[in-house]
Structure 1
Amino acid sequence: MKKYVIVCLLMFFMAALPARSQSSGQVTYEVTRKLEIHPGGLKFIINGEVVKPGDANFPTDIPDTRTYGQKVLFAGNFAKENRDEQNMVRRTLAHDPLLGGGAPQTKNMGRPFEEQTYVDLAARKVVTMLTIGKEKEAKMYRSEKPFQPVTGWQITDQTKKIAGYLCKKATVPFNKEIYTVWYTTELPVTYSPVYDLTPEAGVVLLIEGSKEQYRATKVNTDAVDMKELQPSADAQKVSPEQLKDLREKAMADFQQEMGIGGGGGN
């Protein structure tokens, strides 16, 4: 009788634990993108003044690439993406001449909204959650968009280890050029940070194109709570086009409120 009671109690406590997947973990990517800069169309807001190319205070050391981190949690057939400084608005501030002058500096002004990206790996669709406003005034919107990986993959015999995992090399025609994709089948899911470059099976740990690169720097297989990968069902459903309009309006309102016009965006 005592053994029966103990077994029942163990089953009760196990059922009360959060649902976790044994096929779960996190991949951390370093993303580098080449920026297409057209100086004639650039402008900066420096101490409230619009500065354009040719002005004495116009920055001369504008980077031609941008690098940021991206983390992907996965469990079962679902994934959740988090990008460093996502939706961050930046403002350029001039140095105080009394402190020695120098080049204008960029300051992060915060986020005008919160955005989360979820991926249904089995159904091959991306779910974007957009939250505008704070606390009781916050409004949540949800948009879904399917994706279809490109064809024409050429799998090679080349292999190498990336973030501790053995990867195969493939070349893929995409965006009017040939991309190099390295993917591993040693992880229990199928995922790519560029959805169009998703293999039939495996996780992409390195993507190399002429204008962008995604490189996995760390992989762990810790347990992940499945609830963390499920988008809220309470959000208002909108189309991808409507979500884009909502995002742009929130950004414009935020810039106007901060007094930075249209020159301080990403």
Structure 2
Amino acid sequence: MNNLLCMLIGCFLLLDVHGQEKAVAKIQYHFSHINDTTKTDIPVVDETISYLGKDAYYFTSFSEEIMKKQVDEQLALPSFDNHITLQFATTPILQHYIIYPAERKTTLIEGISSNFDLHVIDEVYETQDWTITDEEKEIGGYLCQKATTTFKGRDYTAWFTNELPFPYGPWKLHGLPGLILSANDARGEVSFAYAGFDTLTETKAIKPPAYALRSTKKDLDKLKKIFKDDPSGYQSSLAAAGKMDIPNAYYGIDYEKTSISFDFKDYKPSKENNNPLEISE
């Protein structure tokens, strides 16, 4: 592990002349959330990722990349017949965070209808008051230590490793003397399960996507209400404004020539949200 630590510490210096924060590693989490307490057997799930830098980390969804891989694989088939079948097994989270502990700053990047309809606002920086215990266990080949905290109305247990020198984790959970590899709440309703750690061979800027629009909480709440009251109308307004070109370009699909069907298999989570991730302020 010493070679890895030396490489990570060296990578911490990879900032450009403008001071733009760069991610040098990433950790993936399988996220699970029982959003409807009347249907505890069908949680909302997503594949999420934290990009790790020297002074900040970026927590976001990995689902679009998984979907794009499906599209690319089918487009590349010699037998491709202008029809694509997309398999859905996740619900992409719509709230992403860039957290800068040294600056005590949090940037929220939130999607209204999808993650190609993003808005950026500044949010109050929050920390957790962790209690570190002597209990240890191994996760993914790393020796981890147990820590607990109460945050946003939930009691969390986290397992972190000081073998990876990042004081970060999933979502807003951070501030431990090592990377959080997994975390879950005491009710068994929220879970961030370790799904892999890697250093990055190419640097990645820790910043919102270029198409994300700077906004305010008031405007964001207004847009969310418009979408909730009239989803079709909202989507039509996006198309009229040319904003649907963003996902179209990302997936590389010619919609005039290609038909798409969706396969949800057994993944049919409840659309009711009577059990939010954050129970209290």
**Is the CA contact 1:21–1:223 (under 8 Å) kept in the aligned structure 2?**
no
Shift of 1:129: 3.5
Q: Which residue of structure 2 lines up, in the alignment, with residue 157 of structure 1?
A: 134
Q: Which moved more, 1:176-185 or 1:122-131?
A: 122-131
Contact 1:20 1:224 in 2 (8 A): no
The offset of 1:214, in angstroms, is: 0.8
Q: Distance in 1 between matches of 2:61 and 2:163?
A: 24
1:221 is paired with a residue whose SS is: strand
Shift of the alpha carbon at 1:265? 5.4
Q: 1:236 to 1:70 in 2, by over 3 A?
A: closer
Runs of 4+ off more than 6 Å: 19-23, 232-235
Per the alignment, do residues 145 and 203 of structure 1 end up closer, same or farther by CA in structure 2, a change over 3 Å counting? same
Equivalences, count = 196
User: CA 1:118–1:71 in structure 2 vs 1: closer, same or farther (change >3 Å)?
Assistant: same
Closer/same/farther in 2, CA of residues 116 and 161 from structure 1, 3 Å limit? same
Deviation for aligned residue 1:168:
0.8
Segments of structure 1 that go 5 or more residues without pairing to the other structure are 1-14, 40-61, 87-106
Quick one: structure 1 residues 80 and 161, their matched pair in 2 at CA, closer, same or farther if it must change by over 3 Å?
same
- 2:169 aligned to 192, 195, 198, which one? 192
Query: Does the 8 Å contact 2:23/2:51 carry over to 1?
Result: no
Q: Which structure dedicates a bigger proportion of its chain to strand? A: 1
Partner of 2:150: 173
**What is residue 246 of structure 1 aligned with on the other side?**
223
Q: 1:221 to 1:84 in 2, by over 3 A?
A: closer
Is residue 231 from structure 1 mapped to residue 212 from structure 2 by the alignment? no
1:81 is matched with which residue? 59
What code does the residue aligned with 2:54 have?
Answer: G
Q: Tell me, in whole angstroms, the C-alpha distance in 1 between the residues paired with 2:201 and 2:37.
A: 42
User: Superposed, which structure 2 residues align to 1:108-123 within 5 Å?
Assistant: 117-123=97-103
| Aligned twin of 1:204 | 180
- Take 1:116 and 1:150, find their aligned partners in 2: how far apart are those partners? 18
Are residues 1:35 and 2:15 paired? no
In the TM superposition, what whole-angstrom CA distance separates every residue of 1:36-93 from its partner, at most 9, and x where no partner exists?
A: 2458xxxxxxxxxxxxxxxxxxxxxx8442222101212222222322558xxxxxxx
- TM-score norm. by structure 2 comes to 0.54
Q: Percent identity?
A: 20
TM-score normalised to structure 1 length: 0.57
What is the correspondence of 1:53-68 to structure 2 with a 5 Å cutoff?
Answer: 63-68=41-46
How much has 1:172 moved relative to structure 2?
A: 1.9
- 2:107 is aligned to 127
Structure number, greater radius of gyration: 1
Alpha-carbon distance in 2 for matches of 1:85, 1:232: 15
Matched AA of 1:247: K
- The question of whether the paired residues in 1 share the 8 Å contact of 2:142 and 2:161 is answered with yes
Cα shift at 1:23: 7.0
Q: Distance in 2 between matches of 1:177 and 1:115?
A: 18
Give the direction of change, closer, same or farther, for the CA distance of 1:123–1:174 in structure 2 (3 Å limit): same
Residues 170 and 130 (structure 1), Cα distance of their counterparts in 2 relative to 1, 3 Å cut? closer
- Per-residue Cα deviation, 1:198-222 (whole angstroms, up to 9, x for no partner): 2343221111211211111100112
